[in-house]
Amino acid sequence: MSSIILFCSIVIFLCIIINKFTNKLAIPALLFFMFLGMLFGSDGILKINFEDYDLTSKLCSIGLLFIIFYGGFCTKKINDKRAAAQAILLSSVGTIITALLTAVFCYYVLKLSFAESFLVGSVISSTDAASVFAILRSKRLNLKYNTAPIIEFESGSNDPFAYMLTIIGISLLHNGKIESVFPMLFSQIGIGLFIGIIIAYFAIYI
């Protein structure tokens, strides 16, 4: 047990050091974290086998909560109504279109099944908020036509749409029935919005 704690501490320490360098270079830290995972994985140098898929699912779910919270918490409010509408369209309709276009490519070019193609498109349809924030803010880039706030808002708010598309893709891959997903999605959206609004007002009051 002590060796596991020591190893996890070393990995976290390396991530902190890497994050310091990536912030200065305006390179997404996610690339280095993925490389670190491949280095330690079963095909890497250390050959660490990890096949506990249930634990992986739980850890990924917790990580997803932090990612979505970070995207919403760090996204700056857009005062311009027209720019806000464009950002909302990008994060919702734009994410869906990206997923569908990627699915079409995977289906016709890579010859995957429809369910597999849709799942691949859903997984990669959203932009990474941390990467966008790191690139735009660390270098203080001022894009033309004041598009930086729109891109930041879109990258910070598109994860829920990609999450819902991914759930639909997994359901299609499992049983091929998409109609069973919608009640669950509507309940999650409704309950999530209700609880989120209550917590937000309570937090502002506190």
As a three-state string, the secondary structure of 31-79 is HHHHHHHHHHCCCCCCCCCCCCHHHHHHHHHHHHHHHHHHHHHHCCCCC
Count of domains forming the chain: 2
CA 203 to chain centre: 25
Using alpha carbons, list the distances in angstroms from residue 112 to 42, 103, 123: 26, 9, 15
- Given this model, what pLDDT does residue 103 score? 94
Q: CA 58, 181, 101: angle at the middle one, nearest 5?
A: 90
CA distances from 74 to 33, 80, 129, 154, 179 (A): 21, 18, 9, 12, 35
Q: What does the pLDDT read at residue 135?
A: 67
pLDDT per position as a tens digit, 103-149: 999 999 999 988 899 999 999 888 776 666 666 666 666 667 667 77
The residue ranking higher by pLDDT, 26 or 36, is: 36
Phi, psi of 172 (to 5 degrees): -65, -40
One domain for residues 175 and 100: yes
Confidence bin at 100 (pLDDT 50/70/90): very high
- Residue 63 counted as domain residue: no
Contact 11/4 with Cβ under 8 angstroms?
Answer: no
Which H/E stretch holds residue 188?
helix 181-205
In the chain, pLDDT over 90 holds for what percent of residues?
A: 14
Sign of torsion over alpha carbons 110, 115, 118, 119: negative
Shared-domain flag, residues 35 and 137? no
Query: Do residues 11 and 104 share a domain?
Result: no
Residue 6 lies in a domain: yes
Q: How far apart are CA 19 and CA 175, in angstroms?
A: 41
In the block, residue with structure tokens 């270098």: 139
Phi and psi for 116 in degrees, rounded to 5? -65, -40
Domain that holds residue 46: 1-53
Read off the pTM.
Answer: 0.69
Asked if 48 and 5 sit in the same domain, the reply is: yes
Contact present, 30 and 128 (Cβ < 8 Å) = yes
Q: Hey, what are 202's tokens? A: 């309570």
Three-class SS of residue 168?
helix
Q: Residue 110's pLDDT is what? A: 92
Q: Are 90 and 10 contained in the same domain?
A: no
